[in-house]
Amino acid sequence: MVVRTVLGAGHWGTALAVTLARRGDQVRLWGRSLDASASGPASLPHFPQLSRPENLLLTHDWQKALQASRELVIALPSHAVRDALRKLRPSLPRDVALTLASKGLERDSQARLDEVFAQEIPEWSWGVLSGPSFASDLACGRPLAITLASDSPRYLDTWAPAWRSEQLRIYPSSDVAGVCLAGAIKNVLAIAAGISDGLGNGDSARAALITRGLAELLRLGVALGGQADTFFGLAGAGDLILTASSDLSRNRRLGLGIGAGKSPARVLQELGEEVEGWRSSHALYHLALARGIEMPIVTEVYRVLHAGRSAAEASRALMQRGQGEAN
C-alpha cells in the first residue's frame, strides 16, 4: 500500500486526502490544528456529512505525516509554500515525489509557485495539479477533469496513473509555467466577475468580462513562457469559467461583497478564509506593469482591492477605455 501525505487541511487539502484514501492508499492529512484523538474516529474537517476513511490519518505532527511517504501533496496557502519547502528540505528523502496543489503568486517577489519550487527544492521531482475543481465536488465523489503538469516525464509516467480514477480524469501536461500562471490569474479575474455581478451588471457583462479576462490571461501567460493551448484548456479557460461563475468560489464572493458596497477588508473578514485572488492581485498587477503588458481588468481589481477605488468607478473605467487600446 502506497503512503501519500497531504500538507494543508483546508477544504481543498481535505478533499484531496479523501480522494486519495478512496483509491486504497494510506493517506496522512497534516494540519497545524489537527488532532485525530480529539476529532473522533469518523469525523472529517470541513465535510461533516462525510465519513472519514479508515486509511486516512489526521495529524498535526510534521514528522509523523511524512514518515515513509512516497508522495507529498502541497495544498497550503500560496504565501506559506516557500517556508514549508524550507522546513521540509533537510529531512525530505530524495525519492519522494512532490505535487503542488496550491494556486497563487508570491506578493513581494511576484514569483509563480513553480518558480518557488525550482528555487527551494531544485533536486526533487515534482508536478502541479490544477484545473476546474471545487473541493466540495471532489470530496463528494463527483466527476472532475483536471491537469497534472510536470517537466519530468518520469514523474508524469508514475503519478498521472496514481491520481486517475473513475471519478478523476487526468490530463498530463509539460507546461508547468502556464498551468501555474493560469491558476493564479483566474482567481483575480473571478473577483472582477463577482464585482460586476455585485453591481448588478448582469449575465451579459459577466460573459464579456470572462472573455476579455481570458485575453489578458493569454497575453501575460504567453509572454512569460506559457503555451496558448494551456490557457484555452482545463487549467485556463475551464478553471476561469468555474471560478468566475459559481458562488462556491471565495474569490467571486469577495467580488460580490465589494460590488454590493462593502469594503474589501470587511468582506475578507466575513469570509474568514484564505482568498488567494486578493493576495495574487498585488503581485499580478506589478508583474504586468514591470513587463509592460496591459491587463485592464487586473489593473482595476488591484485598484479596488489595494488603492481605494470604488467598484462603480472601476466598472466605468473599463467601459470607457479607448477603442484603440489593447483588446
- Catalytic positions are 186
CA nearest neighbour of 239 among 221, 223, 256: 221
Alpha helices in 104-175 (DSSP H): 113-120, 135-139, 153-163
64 is in an annotated binding site: no
86 is in an annotated binding site: no
87 is in an annotated binding site: no
How would you classify the pairing of strands 126-130 and 26-30? unpaired
23 is in an annotated binding site: no
**Does residue 144 contact residue 167 with C-beta atoms inside 8 Å?**
yes
12 is in an annotated binding site: yes
Rounded CA separation 7/32 (Å): 9
- What are the cell numbers at 21? 484514501
37 is in an annotated binding site: no
262 is in an annotated binding site: no
103 is in an annotated binding site: yes
Judged by DSSP in three states, 326 sits in: coil
200 is in an annotated binding site: no
Burial grade of 12 (CB within 10 A; 0-12, 13-18, 19 or more)? buried
55 is in an annotated binding site: no
Give the bridge partners for 3, in sequence order.
Answer: 26
8 is in an annotated binding site: yes
Give the bridge partners for 145, in sequence order.
Answer: 169
* Inter-CA distances, 207 with 132, 197, 299, 300, 322, Å: 17, 11, 19, 17, 20
276 is in an annotated binding site: yes
292 is in an annotated binding site: no
Q: Which residues contact 35 (CB under 8 A, 6 or more apart)?
A: 58, 60
Which residue has 527551494 as its cell numbers?
Answer: 120
Q: Which residues contact 287 (CB under 8 A, 6 or more apart)?
A: 105, 110, 220
309 is in an annotated binding site: no
* Inter-CA distances, 98 with 8, 50, 87, 160, Å: 14, 27, 14, 13
326 is in an annotated binding site: no
Judged by DSSP in three states, 114 sits in: helix
Q: Could you tell me which residues are annotated as the binding site?
A: 8-13, 32, 103, 131, 133, 135, 186, 239, 249-251, 276
Q: Could you tell me which residues are annotated as the binding site for NADPH?
A: 12, 32, 103, 135, 250, 276
Q: Could you tell me which residues are annotated as the binding site for substrate?
A: 103, 250-251
Q: Could you tell me which residues are annotated as the binding site for NAD(+)?
A: 8-13, 135, 250
Q: Could you tell me which residues are annotated as the binding site for sn-glycerol 3-phosphate?
A: 103, 131, 133, 186, 239, 249-251
